[in-house]
A and B are shown apart, each in its own frame.
Chain A
Amino acid sequence: QKEVEQNSGPLSVPEGAIASLNCTYSDRGSQSFFWYRQYSGKSPELIMFIYSNGDKEDGRFTAQLNKASQYVSLLIRDSQPSDSATYLCAVRGAAGNKLTFGGGTRVLVKP
């Protein structure tokens, strides 16, 4: 089992709809959780991070964390074609400062 798992997609979403991305992790002691957006050929860009159970909203993005179930999700509201990218989930484990990345979910927003 991978430490951080994501559905590779592609997740196809109509413009204006909500895109829902999920990520599960194996280290129950994980402390903080990050979502990055990566356009093809570019470096990852931090969208947001969350460290306590519940929801955290930033503009059109909402991160949701459920430590008991060991999953973190990202919602993208009012999806735009410019949101088409690969979204990486990253987890900071119980020990140290390293992040473990999932394989990413590719999102395609169709006009």
Chain B
Amino acid sequence: EADIYQTPRYLVIGTGKKITLECSQTMGHDKMYWYQQDPGMELHLIHYSYGVNSTEKGDLSSESTVSRIRTEHFPLTLESARPSHTSQYLCASSEGDYNEQFFGPGTRLTVL
């Protein structure tokens, strides 16, 4: 079944640790996105990719980095986690003329 997956779903980690949030999709989509959302707040685009070896920063400044080596895989990395990185991170993918985006289940990150 075509879907979009994120792991881990929940992560509690100490300050200064390096973390990678995984996102994979089996929908065959070229375009993928990372959003950050605090509870009850707006979605903010932090990274996007329109294809392999193509990545761009989004509208919200972020200390994270991304890579797109395979079409189906779009991991996000924080080199040194800080409490200000505590948030929900949502991955999405899209295809088609109208760019309907479909979201994964999200990763809830807590940095102590």
Q: Which residues of A contact B (CB under 8 A)?
A: 31-32, 34, 42-46, 49, 51, 88, 90, 92, 97-104
Stretch in B13-21, B62-70, B77-85, B103-111 touching the partner: B103-111
Q: 7 closest pairs, A vs B, by CB?
A: A43-B103, A101-B43, A32-B98, A43-B106, A97-B99, A103-B42, A44-B103
With contact pairs A44-B90, A98-B48 given, residues A49 and B98 touching in the complex (Cβ less than 8 Å): yes
**Whole-angstrom distance between the alpha carbons of A102 and B42 in the complex?**
7
Find out whether the CB atom of A44 lies under 8 angstroms from the CB atom of B98. Answer: no
**Whole-angstrom distance between the alpha carbons of A88 and B92 in the complex?**
15
**Whole-angstrom distance between the alpha carbons of A104 and B37 in the complex?**
12
Looking across the interface, which residue of chain B has its beta carbon closest to that of A86? Answer: B40
Looking across the interface, which residue of chain A has its beta carbon closest to that of B31? Answer: A97
With contact pairs A97-B50, A98-B58 given, residues A92 and B45 touching in the complex (Cβ less than 8 Å): no
Find out whether the CB atom of A34 lies under 8 angstroms from the CB atom of B100. Answer: yes
Query: Contacting A99 at CB < 8 Å: which of B41, B101, B105, B106?
Result: B101
- A45 surroundings in chain B (CB, below 8 A): 103
A-B contact pairs, 10 of them (CB 8 A): A43-B105, A49-B100, A88-B43, A92-B98, A97-B94, A98-B33, A98-B45, A98-B58, A101-B43, A103-B42
With contact pairs A43-B90, A43-B106, A44-B90 given, residues A104 and B42 touching in the complex (Cβ less than 8 Å): yes
B99 to chain A, nearest CB (A): 5
With contact pairs A97-B50, A98-B58 given, residues A43 and B100 touching in the complex (Cβ less than 8 Å): no
- B90 surroundings in chain A (CB, below 8 A): 43-44
Find out whether the CB atom of A101 lies under 8 angstroms from the CB atom of B42. Answer: yes
Indicate the member of A42, A44, A51, A88 with the most B CB atoms within 10 Å. A44
- B94 surroundings in chain A (CB, below 8 A): 97
